[in-house]
Amino acid sequence: MFSYRRVKTDERDAADLADLLRMGRLAEAWIAPQDVREVRELVRYRHRLLGARTSAKAQVHAVLGKAGIQVPVNNLFGRAGAEWLARAGLHGTYRLRVDSLLRLIAFLSAEIAAVEKQTTGLLADDPGYRAVQAIPGIGPVLAAVMVAEFGDVHRFASPAKLCSWAGLTPRHRASDTKVHRGSITKQGSKLLRWACVEAIQRSGADTPMGRLRNRIVDRRGVQARSTAKTAAARKLLTLVYYALRDGEVRCLAERTRA
């Protein structure tokens, strides 16, 4: 009832906090060490740079649409796309803006590469960073995000607590015999949830996450794709938990019944 009482004074607050501390029920915050904070700074900055580059690419497409020019290549920012853009019939303000955006994209790409190189150097000797990359769908970039956001995985007693901390567990409200489950809580790091969903989209159908996702879609229909991705993300975090804790990944192979 601490947060619901009507009388709130400094003296009462101090006494209540002391009682919670005595009973071992005072919530504690984990402060990451300096090396973890440095990696977090890099992966979060890279994500912002990536968002800026994506925005610049979208603006190039928007300018071409305003000029009424249809793009004939699949990748506008590859080699073939760059050659086509140089010959595209853009004039005046449209040409100036596209050229400016292309220079900005090249600059942001160089900065992203530099940040990735620095991040890889900081995590080169981290056994958890190497172990996590054994999970299908997780490469160096997503592995760096997970290692940085989790920090010390030993502070979580189980994979279920890790999933709850990441905001991938459903809301649960119960009163007497009535139980209501809602959407996921989305607490914790938004960047971490993005990394989990990105890894799920990259994992194949023959992986534990892919099999779980497909079973849910087959049972509940295509309208359950988001639910299936969330369930697969929890499965992924279970593998990540053991990879960071033990230095190896469990349950990657399909279980065989005797």
On whether both 149 and 134 belong to a single domain, the answer is yes
The model carries a pTM of 0.83
Cβ neighbours of 43 (radius 10 Å): 23
| 187 vs 99 pLDDT, higher one | 99
Q: Which has more pLDDT, 87 or 52? A: 52
Q: What residue type is 30 in one-letter code?
A: W
133/247 same-domain check: yes
> How many structural domains compose the chain?
2
pLDDT band at 251 (very low <50, low <70, confident <90, very high): low
Query: Contact 63/98 with Cβ under 8 angstroms?
Result: yes
Domain holding 96, by residue range, is 32-122
Contact 211, 143 (CB under 8 A): no
Q: Is the domain of 106 the same as that of 147?
A: no
Q: What rounded mean pLDDT belongs to the chain?
A: 89
Q: How confident is the model over 20-36, as a mean pLDDT?
A: 87
Say if 5 falls within a structural domain. Answer: no
> Which residues face 174 on adjacent strands?
179
H/E element, 180: strand 178-184
What's the pLDDT at 2?
59
| pLDDT digits 0-9 by tens, 59-72 | 999 999 999 999 98
Residue 19, in any domain of the structure? no
Integer-rounded Cα Rg, in Å, for the chain is: 24
pLDDT at res. 188: 86
Residue 178 or residue 250, greater confidence: 178
pLDDT at 54 over 90: yes
89 and 155 co-located in one domain: no
How does pLDDT run across 172-209, given as a tens digit for each residue? 787 778 888 788 888 888 999 999 999 999 988 889 89
Give yes or no: residues 140 and 247 share one domain: yes
The verdict on 142 and 90 lying in the same domain is no
Place 256 in a pLDDT band, splitting at 50, 70 and 90.
very low
Percent residues over pLDDT 90 in the chain: 68
